[in-house]
Structure 1
C-alpha cells in the first residue's frame, strides 16, 4: 500500500466515514437559525446590536482578555491592532514567512514592511531564537527604538502566529521583544481555545487577534476580534473601528480618521450560537487528533502534535512527508480519492509583493513548506 493510500485509509478510519471529506467545514447544529432569525426580526442587523455585545462578552469569558472588540474579519483586526500599537508608514514589523498571506497584508495595510524570521520546527510559530539572532545581527537599540541597520527603519512590532492552533513560544518572544522595545501583537486567528498552561493564546502580547472565517473552529461567516488587557487600547480600538464617531443620540461628530471595521449584529448572532458549542468542537477535534496520532505513528508518518505544557485546538491537523515529490504525489492521490488535503501556505517571502522584504535565515520554513500537508480536521455534522 502506498503512503498516499495509507493516508486516505487512516483519515477514513478516524472519521468512520465514506464519501467526500472536506478539510474543514462549518457545523450549524445549535441555535444559529434561531439567533439569526431573532436578529432579522429585531431589524438591528448592522454593527449595533445586542448580539455584538453578547459575542464580545462571551469571548472575554473564554479568553480571559479584559477587552474584546469584534471586527469584520481577522485581517481588519490585525490591521487595527498594528495601528493601535503605533506602527507607522515605513516601519518594519517582524513576523514569520510561514503564515497565511493576511498576516503580511495587514502589515502592508498599516504602511509598514514585513521582516521575516524563521519558525520553530515543533510549533511552526515564530522562533524566539531566530528572533533574537535577527535582532542581534541586523538591528541596534537606540533612543529612537529598535533600528534595522541595513534600511535605517524602525522595527515597531513583532507579529508571531499560532499556526494551526499550535501555541508558539510566545512568553519567550514577548520577553525578547520587550527588551528591544518592540510591541508584540499575536496573530491568534487559528487559535481560539488554544492555551499555554491555563492562559489563552492571544493574551500575552500588547494585543492579540482572532478570526471567525468560514473555515475556523467557530465562524461568524466573516469576522474577527481584537483582544487586549489595556483599557485605553480597548477603548481606542472600539472607537476607531466604529468610524471614530463621538457618542451622541443624533449628531455625526468624528474626532479621528476612523474605520468601518465593526462586526455586524447578524454575524455576531451566528457567532454566539457557535461559541455555545466551542467546548464540544474542541473535544471532538482533540479526540480526532488523538486517533490520527496513534494511526500515523503505526504507519511511520509524522503527525504534528502540541508541545508539552500547551493545549492546541487542533484547528488543522497536519502530517509531514519525506520530501516535496512525495508531498505533491500524496496531494494528487488523496484529493482524487475524495479526501481533501492541502499544502501549507506558500512562504510569504517567495510571493512577489514581499520578495524584497528583509529576512533572516529561513531553513526551517523552507523544510516544512516542502513536506507538510493538512488533512481533514473539521467536526463532522452529527445525524439529526
Structure 2
C-alpha cells in the first residue's frame, strides 16, 4: 500500500508536469522586471526613496480595492505594525489559527501579546467561525466592552484569520464573531494576493490586512509586504511608523515616537511593479495547473486535491493534496519518495501549539481538526510557470 500510493502520486505529478524535477514554488519573471530594475539603478534611488514605492502602493490599492496600501520590508513586519495599529498591546491576547506559518504568532509576540490558538475547519483550511463563537461564549465575558478571557484575565484584543495556501477563510462568519465579541479583525492575507471572497479581495475586510511578497509568493519583490486599510489616518500612521517615525524636514532628523525601519527599498518595489502587472496572467496559469492536477488525481485512490471554498476564487498559491484517513500514515513516505525524485513536496507547517516557543500559550482544549489536517496535507509543485503551457 505504501509503495502503491506513493507511486501513484509520483505518476500523477509527472503526467501533469512532464518534467523529472520541479520546485514547490518559484518566481516567474516574464515582464518589465529588467527594464524597471535598470531604471531604478540608473536613477541611483535604490533604497528608501523613489517612485517605484509610491507606484507599487497605488497599484496594490487599485488591484485589491483597498483605499490605501503601505509597502514594507516583509509580510511579518506588515502584520506586526497592523496589530499595533489595531490596538494590540503588552499582555493582550490575539486569536489565531494553530495551522499557520510561524510569522502569524511571531507578529503577535513582537507586540508583547500572547497568541491564543484556535481550531480550523476542513472546508476552508482556515479558522472555524462556528467553533470559535461557541468557544468564546464558554470561555470569555464582556467587561466594559472588552472581551476578557476568564481563565487568564487578559483582554482578547484581536482576531487574525490566515487565508491558508491562498484560500479565503469564512470571512462573513469571522467578521460576525469579531463584531459580537468586540474584537478587532486583522487579516493575514500573506498568501492570498489575487484571491477573492465573493467580489471582494482578501485583506480588505478587517480593520487592516497584510500581504507578503517573499520569493515563494505568487508575485515577489524579493522580500516585501504591505499593509492594507480603508482608513486614511491608519494608513498615514502605518507609513510613519514603518519609516522610523521620522518627521518631515529638509535636513533635521527628528522622530516623534518609537518607529521601525520597515521600509521597502525602491529597488524591491521596482521588481514588484513589474510582477504586479503580470498578476492576472500568473493566477490564470495557476488555475490551469489546478485543473490539470484535478484531472490527474481523480484516478488516484486515497487522496484528493483541495478545491477553493464555495463562493470564493483562490489564487491557488500552493496546490494541496489531502490524504484519506486510511492513508495519512503514509505521508512521510510520500514526501520522501517525491523529494528523492526531485519533485518538491512539503507537509503543512508544524502546528503553533507544538512549537517550544508557543506550547504554553492559551488554546482551545481540542485542536483536532488542525491536528488532523497537519497529518494529511501535502503541498505539491505550484509555481505559475508550471501552468503556462497548459490548455
TM bracket, shorter-chain basis: over 0.9
Structure 1 stretches of 4+ with a deviation exceeding 3 A read none
CA distance in 2, matches of 1:366, 1:289: 25
**Matched residues in 2 for 1:154 and 1:18: separation?**
53
State the superposition RMSD in angstroms.
1.3
8 Å Cα contact 2:86-2:184 kept in structure 1: yes
SS at the partner of 2:298? helix
Supply the distance in 1 between the matched residues of 2:307 and 2:354 (Cα, whole angstroms): 27
Q: Secondary structure in 2 aligned to 1:116?
A: strand
Q: Tell me which residue corresponds to 2:71.
A: 70
The residue aligned with 2:304 is: 302
In structure 1, the partner of 2:266 is 265
List gaps (5 residues or longer) in structure 2. none
Aligned to 2:346, which of 319, 342, 346? 342
Deviation at 1:144, TM superposition (A): 5.3
Partner Cα distance (1:203, 1:5) in 2: 42
Q: Which residue of 2 aligns with 1:141?
A: 142
Could you tell me the TM-score, scaled by structure 1's length? 0.97
1:299-338 equivalent positions in 2, closer than 5 A: 299-300=300-301, 301-322=303-324, 323-338=327-342
Partners of 1:173 and 1:2 in 2: CA distance = 41
Give 1:298 deviation, angstroms.
2.0
Q: What are the equivalent positions in structure 2 for 1:234-249 lying under 5 Å apart? A: 234-249=235-250
2:367 is aligned with 1:362:
yes
Q: Is the CA contact (8 Å cut-off) linking 2:139 and 2:151 kept in structure 1?
A: yes
2:145/2:182 contact within 8 Å kept: no
Q: 2:153 maps to which residue?
A: 152
Instruction: Check the 8 A contact 1:91/1:154 in 2, yes or no.
Output: yes
> What is the CA–CA distance in structure 1 between the aligned matches of 2:269 and 2:45, rounded to whole Å?
11
Structure 1 unaligned regions, length at least 5:
none
Q: State how far apart, in whole Å, the 2-side matches of 1:76 and 1:217 are.
A: 19
Equivalent residue of 1:114, what SS?
A: strand
User: Which piece of structure 1 moves more, 183-192 or 129-138?
Assistant: 129-138
Give the superposition deviation at 1:370.
0.6
Counterpart pick for 2:8 among 6, 9, 13: 6
- Quote the Cα distance in structure 2 between the aligned partners of 1:5 and 1:66: 49
Counterpart CA distance in 2 for 1:12 and 1:250 is 60
Aligned residues: 382
Provide the secondary structure at the position in 2 that maps to 1:253.
coil
SS at match of 1:256: coil
SS in 2 for 1:111: coil
Whole-angstrom CA distance in 1 between matches of 2:152 and 2:145: 14
Alpha-carbon offset, residue 130 of structure 1: 2.1
How far off its partner does 1:85 sit?
0.6
In the alignment, what sits opposite 2:105? Answer: 104
Say if 1:171 and 1:204, in contact at 8 Å, map to a contact too. no
Partner of 1:79 in structure 2? Answer: 80
In the TM superposition, residue 129 of structure 1 has moved relative to its aligned partner by: 1.1
**How far does the alpha carbon of each residue in 1:218-251 deviate from its partner, in whole angstroms, 9 at most, with x for none?**
0000000000001111111011111111112222
Query: Aligned ranges for residues 215-226 of structure 1 at < 5 Å?
Result: 215-226=216-227
Output the CA distance in 2 between the equivalents of 1:224 and 1:66: 17
**SS of the residue aligned with 2:321?**
strand
1:256-308 per-residue CA deviation (whole Å, 9 max, x = no partner) reads 11111111101000001111110010000001101111221222321101111
Q: Tell me the secondary structure at the aligned position of residue 184 of structure 1.
A: strand
